[in-house]
Amino acid sequence: MSERPLLKLDQVSVYYGDLCAVRDITLEVREGEIVSLIGANGAGKSTILNTIMGFTHPKTGSIEFAGRRIERLETHDIIQLGLALVPEGRRIFPELTVYENLIAGSYTRRARQNKQQMLKRVYELFPILEERKKQLASTLSGGEQQMLAIGRALMTDPKMILFDEISLGLSPIVTLKIYETIKRIRSEGVTILLVEQNVRQSLAVADRAYVLKAGRIVLSGETKDLRDEEEVRKAYFGA
């Protein structure tokens, strides 16, 4: 694991009109890490991911990825650099086949060069997707749709993936399988930033975590030191 940050946010504040959604966010994710961002609903977790991906731009502060400033770039340029997002709610294309959904993830120049290699990798991770490659995505179960969303992100050949609420609506058994896949993805060289309501599971898989409360980071550290921390419970349950 490298000590060099792959992703770095420095004093990032994001506003929606006059409303400050997150304030003075400073965090970093080093190459090869799984980092978890936890907090109650409305704490600003998804806002941070959306800002990293260029869906919205910060009012103040800077974001660096792989040594390059990205806070003013558009989303397609950020993806081209090697960042991918598995969004909350999956957002697959229901009227396209499984195969067509996966190919939709390989539109960047970087991904097109490695399309067949990445497709093979996705099918190795999720054999069910190869079995159902001709089915419409709308016919898949919730767990299979989540696998498809992860597979589509992998098709961009990313250096880093942001995961937003990946266990939402999934059974415990499927959730466990998804988390095992996340660990495998990391073992293959992809860095991960994880936003998750399942705080126990996310702390179990992550190396480090940041605790977000009311748009601010109130605690951070290695997960082994945070699991019994009272502030984690306060931030998560909103107490």
**Do 49 and 106 have their domain in common?**
no
If you count them, how many residues does the chain have? Answer: 239
For residue 227, pLDDT beyond 80: no
Separation CA 191–CA 36 (nearest Å): 12
Q: What percent of the chain has pLDDT over 90?
A: 69
Q: What digits encode the pLDDT tens for the residues 168-225?
A: 888 889 889 999 999 999 999 999 999 987 788 888 899 999 999 999 999 999 988 8
Q: Domain boundary at 152, 177, 209, which?
A: 152
Q: Domain boundary at 152, 172, 204, which?
A: 152
168-187: buried (b, 16+ CB within 10 Å) or exposed (e) per residue?
eebeeebbebbbebbeebbe
**Do 35 and 140 have their domain in common?**
no
CATH number (domain holding residue 55): 3.40.50.300
Total structural domains in the chain? Answer: 2
The phi and psi torsions of 55 (rounded to 5 degrees) equal -70, -30
pLDDT at 239: 45
Q: What digits encode the pLDDT tens for the residues 15-62?
A: 999 999 999 999 999 999 999 998 888 889 999 999 999 999 999 999
Is 45 within 8 Å of 212 (Cβ atoms)? yes
Separation CA 208–CA 88 (nearest Å): 21
The phi and psi torsions of 191 (rounded to 5 degrees) equal -80, 150
Domain that holds residue 132: 87-152
Separation CA 56–CA 58 (nearest Å): 7
Q: What percent of the chain has pLDDT over 70?
A: 94
**Do 101 and 216 have their domain in common?**
no
